[in-house]
Structure 1
Amino acid sequence: MGINLQKGQKIDLTKGNPGLTKILVGLGWDEASKSKSGGIFGGLFGGGGGSAPIDCDASAILLDAQDKLTAKDRLVYFGNLQSGDKSVKHSGDNLTGAGDGDDEQIHVDLGSVPGSVQKIVFVVNIYDCVKRRQDFGMIANAFIRVINPVNGQEFCRYNLTESYAGKTSLVVAEVYRHNNEWKFAAIGQGTNDASLSELIRRYQ
């Protein structure tokens, strides 16, 4: 069993795991039950059986020492499944979040991440959220976890338990360099960015 982190907590990844060079970052979420909250969703969001499924998209943003995104190929998402240096790779888009386990996965080869990249930020946004009138108050059981892809060992997990009603994007967590080692930090910051393009402006 991995360590369950709370918002703001950090954990060493490589320092206590000699030889670790690759990690798998899994992100998951479920659509909250319409039957439990149908009154709110039906009134405010036009919910009900005919509404569009909530399509959450996970992305990784590779930043330099100034927390800046310096090149387009350092944004890894469903439209660009690997970074230009091929150190970060996305498993592909999941359109509904249905089912158990990870909905989307991002593979990180820590040993191949360029020295100019100091931090990898993991974010989730709701696709077409304005048109579909959807926000993270309609999402449940969101989490991020870090796994050793060699043996399947889960290092840590962060369950996003607070309410993100009204928020349309989440800065979930980050993996970053510290004293020549890699660490993981649980962030859980909700934002009102309506798209990934809006979200990455924070880092430009």
Structure 2
Amino acid sequence: MSVINLSKGQKIDLTKTNPGLTKIMVGLGWDTNRYSGGHDFDLDASAFLVDQNGKALSDKSFIFYNNLQSEDGSVVHTGDNRTGDGDGDDEQLLVNLRQVPSAVHRVVFTVTIHDADTRSQNFGQVSNAFIRIVNDETHEEIVRYDLGEDFSIETALVVGEIYRHGNEWKFNAIGSGFHGGLASLITEFGLN
């Protein structure tokens, strides 16, 4: 089975075409372009578990380096990577689709730049950003979305999301940039 490469705005079914798919690994990766500022980049992947109105259920529905798993254990962040060096995924989240609470309509995957303002960094200096969905049991990559280079001054990205469609799960390749870093995403998803 070949991996399906998506473009921005494309939606694709996950569970219907992959019967028995219950556990996925969401890998996010990127490369940073060194520049004269000299600061290291520290990019952070996060997930928001949101209801049908697009709002996080609670503070514990925000999964990131200081809260590595959701209350019910359905979404687990495997840990912070502070350099982004090397090939492949820079950070990963594991999702058990069967355990995601019924109140959660979508799981939104984001990437932010830590201390972006202080370090004068933005996604214009980041390249080769991608998200991929892997069947965690067979290690087979199902879907991949390469974001391309169309960002400049943004400091936060909503990369993609998985969402419920009836009894099935689908993936949506979003690729939207935000100003204001992580704080803008926290506000977007209804947290303080």
Shorter-chain TM-score bucket reads: over 0.9
* Residue 95, structure 1, aligned to residue 82, structure 2: yes
Q: Secondary structure at the match of 1:23?
A: strand
Shift of 1:70: 2.1
* Residue 105, structure 1, aligned to residue 106, structure 2: no
Alignment match of 1:53 (pick from 29, 40, 46): 40
Shift of 1:87: 0.2
Largest Rg, 1 or 2: 1
Preserved CA contact (<8 Å) 2:13 2:170: yes
Aligned counterparts, 1:14-163, within 5 A: 14-32=15-33, 34=34, 41-42=35-36, 47=37, 51-163=38-150
Query: Separation in 2 of the partners of 1:172 and 1:19?
Result: 25
| 1:38 corresponds to | none
Query: Separation in 1 of the partners of 2:8 and 2:174?
Result: 6
Shift of 1:197: 3.0
Counterpart of 2:66, as a letter, is G
Q: Secondary structure at the match of 1:85?
A: coil
Preserved CA contact (<8 Å) 2:44 2:111: yes
Shift of 1:65: 1.2
| 2:184 corresponds to | 198
Which structure 1 residue ranges, 5 or more long, are not aligned?
35-40
Counterpart of 1:15, as a letter, is K
Query: Separation in 2 of the partners of 1:66 and 1:180?
Result: 18
CA-based RMSD: 1.0
Spell out, residue by residue over 1:50-75, the C-alpha distance to the aligned partner (whole angstroms, 9 max, x if none): x1111100000000111111211110
Q: Secondary structure at the match of 2:73?
A: coil
Shift of 1:19: 1.1
Q: Identity of aligned pairs, percent?
A: 52
Shift of 1:97: 0.6
Query: Separation in 2 of the partners of 1:90 and 1:171?
Result: 16
Q: Secondary structure at the match of 2:188?
A: helix
Higher share in helix? 1
Q: Secondary structure at the match of 2:84?
A: coil
Number of equivalenced pairs: 189
Query: Separation in 2 of the partners of 1:141 and 1:162?
Result: 7
Shift of 1:162: 3.0
Q: Secondary structure at the match of 2:20?
A: coil
Spell out, residue by residue over 1:140-161, the C-alpha distance to the aligned partner (whole angstroms, 9 max, x if none): 1100000001111111100011
Q: Secondary structure at the match of 2:117?
A: helix
Preserved CA contact (<8 Å) 2:128 2:149: no
Counterpart of 2:3, as a letter, is G
**Structure 1 stretches (4+) deviating beyond 6 angstroms?**
none
